[in-house]
A and B are shown apart, each in its own frame.
Chain A
Amino acid sequence: MTWPARIGAGVAVLAALAVGQAVDAALPVEHTDERPFVRAGGIGDRVHMNYADVTVDAVHTAKSLDTPQGKVGTPGRWLIVDVTVVAWGRPLSRPAMSLEDDSGRVFLSDPRSGYDWSSAPTGVRWRAQVPFEVPEDALHGATLVFSRDANDDRRDDVARIDLGIEPGDVAGLWDTQQVIELPPAQMATP
């Protein structure tokens, strides 16, 4: 190669490296936006997502749950969220549901509650009662978070539904002696 050609090649390589550095500095990999798309709503709202519509119909509490393994109590109270879900496109087999309180604590359901989702068939109104066990200070401002998959909600639709529990409701909800048997998730009858 002639000298000018060598220098030209060297400049080209350095320029390519510089461009690569600039791109990486301006758009670093760690800052890739993988946040889910949040669809918000309240009790009674039909929250539309690309894989399902979710409606929270009601919220109630129980002191213990009547399960196949016997009566199961809790050191707090069981907060039961009645939801109706319609799956689109494909059946919804394992959605992730959690409860968030207003200090950001996250509550999940325990299998000892007897809770059973079963797969929601496509296009069918599917009714479930989802139990969470909570301390008294988690009730006011509690929100249901519903996503398609427990492991991965990157850039997916996620529903956040405010359960509408006001400070005045807390004492009534906490003061329950109810023993409830959770029905398995099933088709909603009219």
Chain B
Amino acid sequence: MSNPATHVGALVAALLLGVSGLFGGLDHVPLADRVDDVEPGTEVTAEPFTLTIKQAVAVDQIGDVVSPLTPGNHLMVVLVDAENQSKESLSSTLLAPVSRAESYRNRNLVVLDDRLSPTTATVYDADSNVAVSVLSPGLTYRLALVWEFGGPVPQRLPLGLAKLTLRGVTISQADLEWQDPAEAATLTLPVGDSTKAKGPP
């Protein structure tokens, strides 16, 4: 796609989606009045999960297992306790955070600072650093949500929590999926800095 008009178009679309999507600014009721802002460490219900978002830390890599693809980028790690409250095993992708522009997707977490937004986030078991795909019902998992970001390490990470509803898929009503994200809460995490390269002296 080398047509500059397409570039500009894509940027404008992302901006519009970001502003008009979930947790965006187009609603005449301000975000702070629409949903509760909760403290880190509080248990929040964001169907189908109960989430306790504990802390965020920026690192250069995780063991030998995870490193940023682009040199110079850091990894954002968000530690979350998540309990699957539904009656079936769920895909961990539901908890992989997305940017505001992608908040229309069926996901529970949105990163509200566009500079820190994930391209792709991965969900790991925080105790073993192994990626988790399936979250069984009735269990509280200790997870690390990890994605790459560029630029300096921020002081704060603002997150939006969305709840989903179990509904029939359009083309086949008998197949149920968790869809229709709706704002549930917001939360701002202070970001711990465990990176080595601390910027120019």
Binding site for B on A (CB under 8 A): 67, 69-76, 98, 103-112, 132-135, 137-138
Contact = CB atoms under 8 A, between A and B. Distances in A.
Nearest to A68: B130
A138 B88 CA distance: 12
A30 to B, nearest CB: 9
A57 to B, nearest CB: 23
Nearest to B86: A105
Given A75-B142, A106-B137, A135-B138, 13 more contacts: A71-B128, A73-B128, A76-B138, A103-B87, A106-B87, A106-B88, A108-B88, A109-B134, A110-B134, A110-B136, A133-B139, A134-B139, A135-B139
Nearest to B142: A75
A107 B88 CA distance: 6
A72 B89 contact: no
Nearest to A109: B134
A132 B130 contact: no
A74 B139 contact: yes
A38 B139 CA distance: 29
A105 B87 contact: yes
Contact of A73 (B88, B127, B133, B137): B127
Interface of B: 87-89, 125, 127-134, 136-142
23 contacts: A69-B128, A70-B128, A71-B128, A72-B128, A73-B125, A75-B139, A75-B140, A75-B141, A103-B87, A104-B87, A106-B87, A108-B88, A108-B134, A110-B132, A110-B134, A112-B125, A112-B132, A132-B136, A133-B136, A134-B136, A135-B136, A135-B138, A138-B138
B130 A108 contact: no
Nearest to A70: B128
Given A107-B89, A112-B125, A70 B130 contact: yes
Contacts of B142: 75
Contacts of B128: 69-73, 112
B136 A76 contact: yes
A113 to B, nearest CB: 9
A133 B139 CA distance: 9
Contacts of A69: 128, 130
A106 B141 contact: no
Given A106-B88, A106-B89, A112 B131 contact: yes
A103 B127 CA distance: 29
A74 B134 CA distance: 12
A183 B87 CA distance: 29
Given A72-B125, A112-B125, A105 B130 contact: no
Contacts of A67: 130
A117 to B, nearest CB: 15
B133 A107 contact: no
Given A105-B87, A106-B87, A112 B139 contact: no
A104 B127 CA distance: 29
Give the residue among B129, B133, B136 with the most A Cβ atoms within 10 A: B136
Contacts of A108: 88-89, 134, 136
Given A70-B128, A106-B87, A76 B134 contact: no
Nearest to B89: A108
A37 B142 CA distance: 39
B140 A107 contact: no
Contacts of B134: 108-111
B133 A105 contact: no
